[in-house]
Amino acid sequence: MKTLTLFLTTTPYAYENTHTAIQMARAALDKGYAVNLFASADGVHNFSRNQNPKGLPDAGKEFAELIARGLRVELCGTCLNFRGICADDFLPGAEPSSMKRLFGLMKSSDVFITLGS
């Protein structure tokens, strides 16, 4: 099975990166890929519970649906700590992780795409 890993570093509604990550993850899952998403910096905000955007797609809801389909989500633990985000604040299925783990995902992926700066 081919593996796609996405690296997301931007907030859910300030850029189009979140929408792009959702669409890419959905398409890859549809094609039978294993899909990982590692969120770092402000990208961890994409996985906050109870988002309620007005006039925009709900990133949290869309990512929750993808997690249910097999998307593996890892969140930079240091980034979570810097932002005061604890486990109760993010979506079920998203897990704290580390830069060491990110390196492992990069090495083991067939495709690695960065969305953000």
Instruction: Indicate whether this model's pTM tops 0.85.
Output: yes
Is residue 12 a part of any domain in this protein? Answer: no
Is residue 81 a part of any domain in this protein? Answer: yes
| pLDDT, tens only, 56-90 | 889 999 999 999 999 999 999 999 999 999 999 99
Range of the domain at 111: 20-33+40-60+69-115
Please tell me the total count of domains within the chain. 1
- What kind and span of H or E run contains 20? helix 17-30
- φ/ψ (deg, to 5) at 84: 70, 30
| pLDDT, tens only, 45-61 | 999 998 888 888 899 99
Is residue 83 a part of any domain in this protein? Answer: yes
Is residue 4 a part of any domain in this protein? Answer: no
- Three-class SS of residue 69? helix
Q: Between β-strands 3-8 and 111-115, what pairing exists: parallel, antiparallel or unpaired?
A: parallel
Is residue 14 a part of any domain in this protein? Answer: no
74 - beta bridge partners? Answer: 38, 95
Is residue 73 a part of any domain in this protein? Answer: yes
Q: How far apart are the C-alpha atoms of 64 and 69, rounded to whole Å? A: 9
Is residue 15 a part of any domain in this protein? Answer: no
CATH number at residue 108: 3.40.1260.10
